[in-house]
Amino acid sequence: MLAFEEGVLQLNTPCRAGALEAVARRMAAVHGELLLIHPFRDGNGRLARWVADLMALQTGLPAPKYEFEGNKQKVRRNAYLAAVSRAYGQDYEPLADFFAKAIEARLVEAP
């Protein structure tokens, strides 16, 4: 926990505004590492997604549109889980791509 706090968390929060890809990479690093240290089997994904939402909002971007319900549910959930698996090995790019697309989907909705 201390390594997480003094490393990836301190480097990436508060999340600063910037290019969407850079913000998504910071979100992915924190998300992936937080999932690894969360002590409970249930709720770790929800908590990590909530932190990702807060990070996006800190930059002035909308919270990601995860699309874990409805027509795209299975495809989006599988993409998320595959990206999370890669993040466990500190390969954050698939998860960063997932977050970037999820934020872009929310931006398209904006009036």
What is the number of other CB atoms lying within 10 angstroms of the CB of residue 49? 21
CATH number of domain containing 38: 1.10.3290.10
**Mean pLDDT value across residues 16-41:** 92
Summarised one tens digit per residue, pLDDT across range 47-95 is 999 999 999 999 999 999 999 988 889 999 999 999 999 999 999 999 9
- Domain hosting residue 103, numbered range: 2-109
pLDDT score of 110: 66
How many structural domains comprise the chain? 1
CA-closest candidate to residue 27, choices 101, 106, 105: 101
